Every structure is written in C-alpha cells, then in structure tokens.
Chain A
C-alpha cells in the first residue's frame, strides 16, 4: 500500500486535551504535512500553538496564508478565519460566513484538503460538541481519502464523532492512543 501524503485533523470541545494526547505519539519521521482545525473560541491561536509545540515531536506553527503546507510540520488554523488548502497545497484564508457556527470550520478545511490531496489525505475527526466536520469527512472519503473518527465512547464530547460516523462513516473508529499509531502506520512507508 502506498503511504498517505497529508493529515488533516479537526476537533472542538475537549480538543486541546485530545491533541495533547495524539501529537506526542506521532513519529518524528512523519514526513507529511499535518493541518489542524480546532475551535478554540479565543481571539488568538498563539497560546494553543505554544501548548501543542511543547508536547509535540514535530514543529507546530500557525498556518500562514500563501505558505506551503510543509511536510513534517503541524499547521494550526488561525482563529477567526477559515483555513483552506489550495490545489497547489498552499494555504489560503477566508472570512466567509461561519459554517456550522464555526470559523475556522473543520468542514471547510476537510473539503478543500480533500480537493487538494485527494486519496492521499487522512482526515481525523475527534471530540466536539457540534457537527462541524461531518460533511467534510464525507468529502474526504468521496475523494478516496482515509477517514478516522475518534471512538465516541472515548471522546470527552461525543457529538462530533457521532455526527461524523452518521454522515460519513469511517475507515477506522479508534481511541486517541490508537489514532496516533494508525497515522504513523498510514503515513510512514
């Protein structure tokens, strides 16, 4: 099986704790871009970036408009803007209307990442108290990407993973510890 080429992750309520569990377990040889959309509600995402950088084996940065999605780097969506992946795998931002009450929206990230990376994409939908990301996950699977949903029973808030499973289904439904393990298996050839 050929290795996947990019990872997109989405989470909301409980997301910070979940990311602090998953990121440290990602292999430092993971040579694909990791893009995260986490609803923080805060006006400034730099604190989230700092917290994640402290635990992650891979460098963590705020995703910058026009910048390429660099392999081996974790990119976090800025607050207040949708984060989109352009067909050339560079980032763009938008202040278009909120999607499922959220900006940044996981749906927007997943749908554009699916367009950009097609079957190379692995999308991960984790804990959250709304349904953002479910439609995006469907687009990911439709494009041939691999969809992982956090096992709702293990999620701090199970609404988001349940919505993902209901609307898109998944290729794997895993606990946080197993999510990192699966990402390593899928992306390291």
Chain B
C-alpha cells in the first residue's frame, strides 16, 4: 500500500476520534487531493506532520475544516436552474401558507442570496424561511456577512439576467472599494447555522431543499444516506435541487423522487417516499 494512503487513513481516524468529524465516507480521490493541498497550505511536508498538529495543536482542526470544505459557489450558479426554480417550482410553493427552504452546504452563501432575490421577486419572501447550513463555521460567517469581491459581480449580473431576473442585479447590493455588500434586507428571513450532513439529522419540514455540488464529494453509501435525509425532510411533493452534474441514478433513494427537470437535477418527492419508514 502507498505510504500516503496509510497516512490518509490515519488522518481520517484522527479527525474522527479526536475531533468528531467523519470523513470516512468521502470519495477517496478528491479527499486525498484536498489533504495534499492542506499539506502545502500549512507547509507541513507530509500528511503525518499534519496529523501530529491535528492531534496536538489547539484550534488547528478549524483550519483543517476550512481547507477540507472548499466553499465554491456563485450567485445564480447555472442560471437555467434558477430560471426553472422561478418558472416551475415557485408557482407551486406559492400555494403554501409558509415556505421552508433548506440550503444544505451553503458555503459562502451566494445561492442563499440568489434564492432570497428569487422569492422577493415572486412576492413570496415574506412567508418564506431559508435555513442555510454548512459544517464549516468560517464559511457560515462569510455567508452571513454577504460581502464579496467586486470582480465576481459582473459574472453574477449576467447570471442574474440569464436566470430571468426582473430588475438589475446592482439593485441588490452596494459597492465600495473592491467589494460588494448584499442588501441586508435579503437576510431578514435567513437563518445560518452549523449542520453536518454526515452526522446531523432532520431538523425541519422543508418544501424545497437545495444541495448543489456537495454529494459529489461523498461515496455511494454517504450519498444514499444524505438523499434519505433529504427525502425524510421534504413534505409530500417537496422539491430537491442538486448540482447539474450530480447523479442520483445509482441511489436507492432515487425511487422516492420523480423528475421535474432531469437535466437540471430538479426533483420532486413522490408519494412513494411517504410509504417508507424514516431512515434514522
């Protein structure tokens, strides 16, 4: 066996035993790349040195978590998805007196604000509540602040228009120096908090769950576990929106979802899900 593979095993064990984070069901190839990246970031030389600091150095685990959960997102990422949410999903959600939305793995929050804008423009935001979760506290902090680099705003403005935006994207932020700050009114019905998809449970009854480009980092069994968690969190007929290249075909939970827009990975919890016992 490759020495590095042994070191990764020890790393996963240290994270689990010492700090309670379970990475044992992450897809091995991408986990390995991220750990190798951490070795470079922290100038550790070897994964074993990383492990030593993880076991002995106070607070080091926080920096490891920041490195392992690489928050990558953008406003209105894959605009056709947000267009479909606007055209196909929100009109159905409009029939509920209260709308609960869970953005799982919200990273730096760009999609949370995108959703808030979508709801605002559909006239639904005042009865909506967005639960935005991540297991990375540093990312949650950035998400709550809603401050981003100006250089991204141009792309986001284009995304917003392609997603069918009704106004101008710049109506939703103020720009200063090299940063934009999203309108804090967009945050009024958002709750940011720490939730780990690997270990934490159902916490709400959701009408829409967005979890984009998170499952790709999990192995089959953890993907199955997470999809079951989503199934159990959704109301009958609730919607699930995944990343555009994520593949639920191999998962047993796929049977509980029907396609709303298969290429865009928007699904609806079918009534079959109600017949199954909650997976705990």
Known A64-B247, A92-B217, A116-B29; 9 more pairs at CB < 8 Å:
A67-B250, A84-B30, A86-B29, A87-B28, A93-B245, A94-B33, A94-B217, A95-B72, A112-B33
| A81–B72 CA distance with the chains assembled, in angstroms | 11
**Size of A's binding interface in residues, CB under 8 A:** 23
A-B contact pairs, 11 of them (CB 8 A): A65-B245, A81-B245, A84-B27, A84-B29, A85-B29, A87-B28, A92-B217, A93-B216, A96-B70, A108-B33, A115-B2
Per CB-CB distance, the 10 closest pairs between chain A and chain B, nearest first, are: A84-B29, A112-B29, A92-B27, A65-B247, A93-B216, A94-B30, A95-B72, A66-B247, A86-B29, A95-B213
For A80, the chain B residues whose CB sits under 8 A away are 245
Partner of B247, one of A67, A82, A87, A97: A67
Considering only residues 85-103 of chain A, those with a C-beta below 8 Å from chain B are 85-87, 92-97
A contacts, CB < 8 Å to B: 64-67, 78, 80-82, 84-87, 92-97, 108, 111-112, 115-116
Does B157 sit at the interface, judged by CB under 8 A?
Answer: no
Does B194 sit at the interface, judged by CB under 8 A?
Answer: no
| A111–B28 CA distance with the chains assembled, in angstroms | 13
For A97, the chain B residues whose CB sits under 8 A away are 70, 72
Chain B, residues 41-71, CB within 8 Å of chain A (1/0): the string is 0000000000000000000000000000010
Does B152 sit at the interface, judged by CB under 8 A?
Answer: no
Contact, CB under 8 Å: A94 / B28: no
| A82–B33 CA distance with the chains assembled, in angstroms | 11
User: Separation in Å of the B253 CB from the closest CB of chain A?
Assistant: 13
Contact, CB under 8 Å: A87 / B29: yes
Contact, CB under 8 Å: B250 / A66: yes
User: Separation in Å of the B5 CB from the closest CB of chain A?
Assistant: 8
Contact, CB under 8 Å: A65 / B216: yes
Contact, CB under 8 Å: A86 / B245: no
For A86, the chain B residues whose CB sits under 8 A away are 27-29
| A71–B258 CA distance with the chains assembled, in angstroms | 31
For A116, the chain B residues whose CB sits under 8 A away are 29
Most A CB within 10 A of own CB, among B70, B213, B216: B216
For B34, the chain A residues whose CB sits under 8 A away are 96
| A67–B223 CA distance with the chains assembled, in angstroms | 14
Q: A66-B220, A66-B223, A97-B72 are in contact. Are A84 and B33 (CB under 8 A)?
A: yes
Does B145 sit at the interface, judged by CB under 8 A?
Answer: no
User: Separation in Å of the A51 CB from the closest CB of chain B?
Assistant: 20
User: Separation in Å of the B53 CB from the closest CB of chain A?
Assistant: 22
| A85–B28 CA distance with the chains assembled, in angstroms | 9
For A96, the chain B residues whose CB sits under 8 A away are 30, 33-34, 37, 70, 72
For B220, the chain A residues whose CB sits under 8 A away are 66
For B216, the chain A residues whose CB sits under 8 A away are 65, 81, 92-95
User: Separation in Å of the B107 CB from the closest CB of chain A?
Assistant: 10
Considering only residues 215-267 of chain B, those with a C-beta below 8 Å from chain A are 216-217, 220, 223, 243, 245-247, 249-250
| A111–B223 CA distance with the chains assembled, in angstroms | 24
| A146–B272 CA distance with the chains assembled, in angstroms | 50
Most B CB within 10 A of own CB, among A85, A93, A111: A93
| A86–B28 CA distance with the chains assembled, in angstroms | 6
| A96–B27 CA distance with the chains assembled, in angstroms | 13
User: Separation in Å of the B32 CB from the closest CB of chain A?
Assistant: 7
User: Separation in Å of the B214 CB from the closest CB of chain A?
Assistant: 10
